[in-house]
Chain A
Amino acid sequence: MMDGAFIWETFLRLIVALRVTLSVWALSVFFGAFIAAGVAWMRGSGVKPVEWVARAYVFVFRGAPLLVQLFVVYYGLASFPAVRASIFWSFLRDAFNCATLSCALCTAAYQSEIFRGALAGVPHGQIEAARACGMSGFLLFRRVIFPIALRQALPAYSTEVISMVKATALVSLVTLWDVMSVALKIRNDTLVTYTPLLVAGAIYFVVNYLIARAFIFIEQWLSPHLRARSA
């Protein structure tokens, strides 16, 4: 198990797979953010049918396990001849596209809830004061609501971003070989039980640690007045 050559070989194979993990992750988080902003806006729009659609979206994509979502997007859609004949097929045919799309839709649901919570957590007094000063509409959003909401959203947002790194471990269901899947494959081929998992774990840990530190840095940069609060 502690065979150095094996560990190194495993490590190299997993680093190659890291590219898959990070690309699916980065693209899905990025596009998911835009979808989430849209959904959060719909949710707060005040127009009942629009709100309802947003709520249904969040319900389905947060409630169903990502595994099921991946399955439906990749295999489910492909089983309809109508889909295969349509213009979407050249996009949906590819496993990477499907996986990224599915992950984006999933993270968007979670992200929209984070946005919603952050927006609701903006102290009403601040908004009133801004309105009293004559701010409204986009200026109000840009100057008052967004900065405060952003700071409040950061802890939960970093959670979600890191969750997505680990969620990519499911994409082997749709034939993409990410770090975790390759580790499990090595495990099945060689029957060495813990080493591939430990190496994979180390890689995930480092990646996630770096992301977490990046968020802490952003948090501290944005909130100098909130540092070192004691209970």
Chain B
Amino acid sequence: MNRRSVLGAALTCSLLVVAGAASAKDWKTVVIGMEGAYEPYNLTDPSGKIVGFEPDLAMDVCARIKIECKIIAQDWDGMIPGLQAGKFDVIMDGMSITDDRKKQIDFSTAYANVPAALATAKTSPLAKLAGAGKLINFDKDKAGGAATLKALKEALKGKTIGVQVSTTHATFAGDNLKDVATIKEYKTTDERDLDLKSGRIDAVLDDETAIAAMLGKDDAKDFTEFGPHLTGGDFGVGVGMGIRKSDADLTAKFDKAIKAAFADGSIKKYSLKWFKIDTTP
């Protein structure tokens, strides 16, 4: 084979590649990245399979838009580089939609929004805070929100609150409670709960469902929820699928599917199954 024919073949190949890339992306399969360690959004069972609210939802919406979806496990740290490098096309990992994040990637419509709740020791004065269990929406109820915040700040003065890092709860605590209380940020909720039990922190702020799950365990019998449930404002509109900005068509497809899944109650069904409450935004 002489050099010219090799060169010619290579040139033809590269032209075909360029031509192929020029046509629009025809979505047949989509790879979804999940941690598999963020219960109940997604978790890994001992056989290695990823199960949870998001896998169920993913299979549902993918069927609606007739795309084959593959779920792969990815550590959170490598999640965004993976998305941008093309290792997967969608991130579904209980990722809250925030303005900061919207600068880098697109989000689908929110598919879940769990209100936040607080917990503390039964013996703590905090346990007696008024308005227990009432839902306060900072966006929709400005007056109620302001009053609640004032009461919270009073009660939490001088105390230590534990939150999980890089969550809307951490943002809320940092924005509103830093001047009266000490905020301790934890990498995982399990570690934060350990510190609550050993008394290093006085209260925790987390998803209502996570708090309920924690309190449901045997070793949490000395602890209780307190205060109102919070949503809106710093807590955002909920969690959504993360998609590259260059794939706006994919975002549109998933938006449609998610809205359809709301309409016929499927999302509510999955939500009740995994969260035990209705988390539709």
Contact = CB atoms under 8 A, between A and B. Distances in A.
A complexed with B: yes
Interface of A: 75, 78-79, 84, 93, 95, 172-173, 175, 177, 184-185, 187-194
29 contacts: A75-B195, A75-B198, A78-B194, A78-B195, A78-B198, A78-B200, A79-B194, A79-B197, A95-B184, A172-B165, A173-B187, A173-B191, A175-B185, A175-B195, A184-B77, A185-B165, A185-B166, A188-B76, A189-B98, A189-B101, A189-B166, A190-B100, A191-B100, A191-B104, A192-B104, A193-B80, A193-B81, A193-B104, A194-B81
B166 A188 contact: yes
Contacts of B200: 78, 93
A187 B165 CA distance: 11
B198 A191 contact: no
Given A79-B194, A185-B166, A188-B165, A177 B185 contact: yes
A142 to B, nearest CB: 46
Contacts of A84: 198-199
A78 B200 CA distance: 9
Contacts of A189: 98, 100-101, 166, 171
B84 A193 contact: yes
B201 to A, nearest CB: 9
A90 to B, nearest CB: 12
B186 interface: yes
Nearest to B76: A188
B105 interface: yes
A191 B77 CA distance: 10
Interface of B: 76-77, 80-81, 84, 98, 100-101, 103-105, 165-166, 171, 184-187, 191, 194-195, 197-200, 242
Contacts of B195: 75, 78, 175
Given A75-B191, A184-B77, A185-B165, A190 B198 contact: no
A95 B199 CA distance: 13
Contacts of A190: 100-101, 103-104
Contacts of B186: 175
Given A191-B80, A193-B80, 8 more contacts: A75-B191, A79-B194, A79-B197, A172-B165, A172-B187, A187-B77, A189-B166, A193-B81
B135 to A, nearest CB: 26
Contacts of A173: 187, 191
Contacts of B81: 193-194
Contacts of A194: 81
A122 to B, nearest CB: 45
Contacts of B191: 75, 173
A175 B194 contact: no
A162 B81 CA distance: 28
Nearest to A76: B194
Shortest 3 CB-CB distances between A and B: which pairs? A188-B166, A78-B198, A191-B104
Contacts of B77: 184, 187
B104 A75 contact: no
Contacts of A175: 184-186, 195
A87 B80 CA distance: 46
A170 B98 CA distance: 27
Contacts of B171: 189
Contacts of B185: 175, 177, 185
A226 to B, nearest CB: 43
Nearest to B183: A175
B103 A75 contact: no
B95 to A, nearest CB: 9
A187 B197 CA distance: 30
A175 B242 CA distance: 28
A177 B183 CA distance: 12
A173 B185 CA distance: 10
B8 to A, nearest CB: 39
Nearest to A188: B166
Contacts of B105: 191
A191 B101 contact: yes
A173 B199 CA distance: 17
A79 B193 CA distance: 11
B121 to A, nearest CB: 13
A38 to B, nearest CB: 30
A93 B76 CA distance: 29
A118 B199 CA distance: 45
Contacts of B198: 75, 78-79, 84
A95 B184 CA distance: 10
B86 to A, nearest CB: 13
A101 to B, nearest CB: 16
A93 B166 CA distance: 24
Contacts of A193: 80-81, 84, 104
